[in-house]
Structure 1
Amino acid sequence: MVTHRMIDVNGIRLHIAEQGEGPLVVLLHGFPESWHSWRHQFGPLAEAGFRVVAPDQRGYGGSDHPEDVSAYSILHLVGDVVGLIHALGEERAFVVGHDWGAPVAWHTALLRPDVVRGVAGLSVPPPFRGGQPPLATMRERFGGRFYWNYFEQPGVAEAEFSADTRATLRKLLYSASGDAPGAGRPEQALVDDLERGWLADAPDPEVLPEWLTEEDLDTLTESYAQGFTGALNWYRNLDRNWELTAPWQGAVVSPPALYVYGDRDLVPAFPGTPELIEELPELMPNLRRKPLVLPGCGHWTQQERPTEVNEALLDFLTELRD
């Protein structure tokens, strides 16, 4: 049974969900999600003898939402993970992330390999620092229409998304899933009309896909009662993160690693990402298998394909647990 509590970490309070006993596995959600995105992983991992903990990361759900934009840098986010591991009485843990949670997981392994027994990323591949700040790069390439740049404008995306939170989440989840028409096209990441907003022409399903229930949507909607600002502040730190991680230019993720993504996910189709994924076996010294591609799966990897994701995670974790 999944239980919930608050825990003090890195100067803030985090809401965590947990189940099981054994080696610690920390599950990190992405945007626009919460701990609930891992609902299909708790039981199987706990039954296999692991202690599973999924926080609402800072700025999300029941956790603290610092007001300062700078409080959402990658160093803060990694600090939360390291602090959480230690607050739970452990020295090391397996760290698994999806979407934004994946860069946090990868950076935790990059910056603090001493606390990471193994790292797995879903959708977003490992962070190899580019030569230019990412927000500035995307702004120049797409004329400000890339969704990162839309998100970086204070108050703009908040206003659009908060007008009808449930409809926003329904559209975001469906449009990036493998069920949506044209899923996996990189142009999905572009805002067609900056005045009308990102979701103006997003598909809105009359019936939810099989992997998402009305109850799931209720739970997620409730977690955004405090709005979207905390979550969007993660994007507003992308250029700052690039500056802060300069000392790790050229460094590699050294702990044992696993990467999983869907072939209808728009993120692996971002400019330069397909080439990066092809090179991962050479770039990642401890990648335990070639990147696992899930046919027909969109962006919400562990929700759309829980059986395949659980099998891959259990193979990876079990091999490393002893």
Structure 2
Amino acid sequence: MTEPALIEVNGIRLRTWTLGDGPLVILVHGFPETAHSWRHQVAALSAAGYRVAAPDVRGYGGSDAPEPVEAYAMEEMTRDFADLATALSPDPAVIVGHDWGAPLAWNTARLFPERFRAVAGLSVPYAPPGDHAPIDIYHKLFTEKDRFFYQVYFQDEGVAEAELEADPEDSLVKFYYAWSGDAPEHGWPTDKKHGDKVLTGLTRPDLPLSWFTQEDLDAYAAAFEVSGFRGPLNRYRNHRRDHDFLKAHPSNPIIQQPSLFIYGDRDPVLTMFRTPPEKLLPATLADLRGVHRLPGIGHWTQQEAPETVNRLLIDWLRAL
């Protein structure tokens, strides 16, 4: 990717890579990644005739990292991307998100329909707010049964930060491998107890993997050496705040813009949803134009299967 620029949005600056000319497509990464996760898509989409913007999300890499937990609420972060779209194009943009970037993309499209003409998610399907905040559901399903769940573990400020920041390179590569399609069964352990640490039981793989090199790990580790993990983890600490905000917001919870969903059949995220995406999403996305299940692929969808993801995205974009 070319050299990034710091773009002012919503009172902060996002380090953003841009490439190409044409209709704007914003790519929103997840946890624990950076804009580097879109390295294969930036070139492909720009070559297909689009202007592509890949920011480090607030709290990550070279973007600003406010201290307060509430600075990472859905209300704030969706406005980041609306402002970024306004800064980069006078016309409505397309937004694509992966992992935490997927709920951010889905809800940015919901909250700012005038700025976004289409939305795609990878790994995490869209789900309007229900009767209870997700963290309260996780406590019932896991904490009350003395079972470990990483999002519960992430709630206490400073705890996960201390574990992950002790050796960012080791933390990241174990996390990536455990959630990938390359990991063995139970590579992400399911038998841990409440109170265990997130890295307990995770294996460090030998590199390179078919989709991930030492150079990729170096790029991620260097970014987290700068940013630390507090900002990224603060996203998980806003479940109740986000639930209350989205539940009360007057916008239509059924997303109206053309949409697309791509996921891997070995993604642990699938265990968090009782209903398969193919059955879940037609009720929540009014103009769903495809649900694509990628065999053998884990959580890191666009990194593990870049050629397939690029083809699906470009075909969808051209048909808009």
If the length of structure 1 is used for normalisation, what is the TM-score?
A: 0.93
The one-letter code matched in structure 1 to 2:256 is S
Deviation at 1:283, TM superposition (A): 3.3
> Cα RMSD between the aligned structures?
1.7
Q: For 2:190 and 2:111, locate their aligned partners in 1 and report how far apart those are by CA, in whole Å.
A: 31
1:171 is the counterpart of 2:177: no
Q: For 1:189 and 1:21, locate their aligned partners in 2 and report how far apart those are by CA, in whole Å.
A: 44
Give 1:255's aligned residue: 257
The one-letter code matched in structure 1 to 2:311 is E
Relative to 1, partners in 2 of residues 1:295 and 1:155: Cα closer, same or farther, differing over 3 Å?
Answer: same
Q: Deviations over 1:157-212 (max 9, x none)?
A: 001101111000000000000000116x9xx4758145541111112112331100
Relative to 1, partners in 2 of residues 1:116 and 1:308: Cα closer, same or farther, differing over 3 Å?
Answer: same
Question: Does the residue aligned with 1:169 lie in a helix, a strand or coil?
Answer: helix
Question: Does the residue aligned with 1:181 lie in a helix, a strand or coil?
Answer: coil
Give 2:215's aligned residue: 215
Q: For 1:257 and 1:180, locate their aligned partners in 2 and report how far apart those are by CA, in whole Å.
A: 30
Give 2:229's aligned residue: 228
Question: Does the residue aligned with 1:232 lie in a helix, a strand or coil?
Answer: helix
Question: Does the residue aligned with 2:8 lie in a helix, a strand or coil?
Answer: strand
Q: For 2:112 and 2:191, locate their aligned partners in 1 and report how far apart those are by CA, in whole Å.
A: 36
Q: For 1:54 and 1:69, locate their aligned partners in 2 and report how far apart those are by CA, in whole Å.
A: 24
> Contact 2:143 / 2:194 at 8 angstroms: preserved in 1?
no
Q: Percent identity?
A: 45
> Contact 2:61 / 2:224 at 8 angstroms: preserved in 1?
yes
Deviation at 1:132, TM superposition (A): 0.6
The one-letter code matched in structure 2 to 1:257 is S
Question: Does the residue aligned with 2:311 lie in a helix, a strand or coil?
Answer: helix
> Contact 1:257 / 1:286 at 8 angstroms: preserved in 2?
yes
The one-letter code matched in structure 1 to 2:126 is P
Relative to 1, partners in 2 of residues 1:191 and 1:60: Cα closer, same or farther, differing over 3 Å?
Answer: farther
Deviation at 1:273, TM superposition (A): 4.5
Is there any run of 5+ residues in structure 1 with no aligned partner, and where? none
Runs of 4+ that moved beyond 4 A = 193-196
Give 1:266's aligned residue: 268
Residue correspondence of structure 1 range 172-187 to structure 2 within 5 A: 172-182=175-185
Question: Does the residue aligned with 1:308 lie in a helix, a strand or coil?
Answer: helix
Question: Does the residue aligned with 2:255 lie in a helix, a strand or coil?
Answer: coil
> Contact 1:252 / 1:284 at 8 angstroms: preserved in 2?
yes
> Contact 2:126 / 2:284 at 8 angstroms: preserved in 1?
no
Q: Deviations over 1:234-291 (max 9, x none)?
A: 00001110011112587201100000000000112214243x54132243210012x1
If the length of structure 2 is used for normalisation, what is the TM-score?
A: 0.94
Give 2:243's aligned residue: 242
Question: Does the residue aligned with 2:261 lie in a helix, a strand or coil?
Answer: strand
Aligned length: 315
Question: Does the residue aligned with 2:114 lie in a helix, a strand or coil?
Answer: helix
Deviation at 1:18, TM superposition (A): 1.1
Q: For 1:129 and 1:308, locate their aligned partners in 2 and report how far apart those are by CA, in whole Å.
A: 31
> Contact 1:146 / 1:189 at 8 angstroms: preserved in 2?
no
Q: For 2:196 and 2:248, locate their aligned partners in 1 and report how far apart those are by CA, in whole Å.
A: 40
> Contact 2:189 / 2:202 at 8 angstroms: preserved in 1?
no
Q: For 1:9 and 1:167, locate their aligned partners in 2 and report how far apart those are by CA, in whole Å.
A: 33
Residue correspondence of structure 1 range 58-97 to structure 2 within 5 A: 58-97=58-97
Question: Does the residue aligned with 1:78 lie in a helix, a strand or coil?
Answer: helix
Deviation at 1:127, TM superposition (A): 2.4
Is there any run of 5+ residues in structure 2 with no aligned partner, and where? none
Q: For 1:257 and 1:301, locate their aligned partners in 2 and report how far apart those are by CA, in whole Å.
A: 17
Relative to 1, partners in 2 of residues 1:198 and 1:190: Cα closer, same or farther, differing over 3 Å?
Answer: farther
The one-letter code matched in structure 1 to 2:182 is D
Give 2:142's aligned residue: 142
> Contact 1:29 / 1:97 at 8 angstroms: preserved in 2?
yes
